Amino acid sequence: MRVLVTGNMGYIGPLVVEQLRETRPDAELAGLDTGFFANCLTGTTLLPERRLDCQYFGDVRAVPPAALDGTDGVVHLAGVSNDPIGTTFEAATLDVNHVATVSLARAAKAAGARSFVFASSCSVYGLAEDGLRTEASGTGPLTAYAKSKLLAERDLAELADESFSITSLRFATACGMSDRLRLDLVLNDFVAGAHAFREITILSDGTPWRPLIHVRDMARAIDWALDRPAANGGAFLALNTGSDEWNYQIRELADTVASVVPGVEVSVREDAPPDARSYKVSFARFRELAPDDQPQVSLREAIEDLSEGLGRMGFSDPDFRNSTLVRLRVLNDLRGSGLVTDELEWAGAAETVRG
Ligand SMILES: NC(=O)c1ccc[n+]([C@@H]2O[C@H](COP(=O)([O-])OP(=O)(O)OC[C@H]3O[C@@H](n4cnc5c(N)ncnc54)[C@H](O)[C@@H]3O)[C@@H](O)[C@H]2O)c1
């Protein structure tokens, strides 16, 4: 089997590659990434791409045909990965997350692939506090990022058939340690705050709901989806991916971190404006379709694992919200130094500038 993982050099990618390498030791694994965060390694001694058979450096808007040659399955992670980047680079977000995703799936199908797994997001539901959202609920994307994921799903649905299954995993918000850790994710931010200044600052009033999932559990779900036959859920399947127990209120997350990391205070902004990013999601269909591939990591384990990882990194930066552990900051820096354009493409200069 040959699998192409796009966006493998980000936060989730290294865990996905590790998982696939373990469950499919004989598979040929290739990666394709433009490398925006290639040097944002965190606490690892092994370059994660060493687990691959082949690494392509390229843009998903212009996939080299060789990358898809003989490919059986594609895991598509590459893209603009959160709301703040989507707001700053709106046109590129729609172009990469929507248009390029659909072209890639079309090219993969033409090259003979049998499955395509797309990393979508529960944020497609928008504000959803009044009951659990299922895949049959209406959507209400509030940001360019969420809209781009939903538009991609709409067009991917047209491409799926009996011999080409497409699974759009609507992931809960990720958390956990990675070889390329991000701290612009809520639980990771709280654990970092707990370590950097013994305080967790909640930027809302603490009441918003947010489903979470550990990166290792995301990788397991992706592994399952790669082998999903069309008969299990349909040729195209949009699936909430997480677990009902991991629908948390922000305040509860902070309190749990404070109970695991000693000597930490939680501060809440009582006067904060309501946070529209509040949603509760049902993961019943995922349980029904993938009973053997359900999330396994506990919240406590996730916090301990992050604490350990931050320790390995020698992490203590109180200004981490403005550091290279935040994806938007890295992209703004690259743009500021002329290496990346407003369209999130490498500028010509990138080829000649030496680090
Ligand atoms: N982290 C989460 O909470 C979460 C939740 C739901 C869905 N997702 C989705 O999962 C995917 C991976 O997320 P992540 O947290 O690893 O993000 P990340 O930003 O850490 O990684 C994204 C990777 O895609 C690459 N990339 C970006 N634009 C590209 C382009 N045009 N061509 C080739 N490569 C490109 C980047 O270089 C990077 O390595 C994203 O599509 C994201 O939207 C993430």
Tell me the pLDDT tens digit for each residue of 102-155: 999 999 999 999 999 999 999 999 987 788 999 999 999 999 999 999 999 999
Q: What's the gap in Å between 325 CA and the centre of ligand 1?
A: 14
pLDDT interval class at 352 (50, 70, 90): very low
Please determine, for residue 353, whether its predicted confidence score (pLDDT) is greater than 50.
no
> Residues 49, 6, 69, CA angle at the centre, nearest 5°?
95
Question: What is the average per-residue pLDDT within 246-260?
Answer: 96
Query: pLDDT value at position 354?
Result: 42
Cα–Cα distance for residue pair 253/90, rounded to 1 Å: 30
Band (pLDDT 50/70/90 cuts) for residue 271 is confident
pLDDT at residue 178 in the model: 98
> CA angle at residue 137 from 227 to 241, to 5 degrees?
35
Q: Which helix (H) or strand (E) holds 196?
A: helix 186-197
pLDDT in tens, 327-342: 999 999 999 999 999 9
Instruction: Give me ligand 1 centre to Cα 263, in Å.
Output: 34
What is the pTM assigned to this prediction? 0.96
- Counting from 1 in the atom list of ligand 1, the atom nearest the Cα of 9 is 39
pLDDT at position 165 over 70: yes
Q: Which atom of ligand 1 is nearest to the CA of 145?
A: 43
Rounded Cα gap, residues 44 and 31, in angstroms: 19
pLDDT tens-digit readout, 194-250: 999 999 988 888 889 999 999 999 999 999 999 999 999 999 999 999 999 999 999
Q: What are the pLDDT digits (tens) for 47-59?
A: 999 999 999 999 9
Q: Which amino acid is at 165?
A: S
Sorting pLDDT into bands at 50, 70 and 90, what band is 269? confident
Average pLDDT, the chain: 95
Per-residue confidence (pLDDT) for residue 283, from 0 to 100? 98
What SS3 class is residue 122? Answer: helix
Q: How far is the CA of 269 from the centre of ligand 1 (A)?
A: 30
* Separation of first and last alpha carbons in the chain: 37
Q: How far apart are CA 290 and CA 97, in angstroms?
A: 26
Q: How far is CA 299 from CA 83, 280, 296, 305, in A?
A: 24, 17, 10, 10
Helix (H) or strand (E) holding 195: helix 186-197
> Cα–Cα distance between 11 and 242 in angstroms, integer?
17
Closest C-alpha residue for ligand 1 atom 30: 59
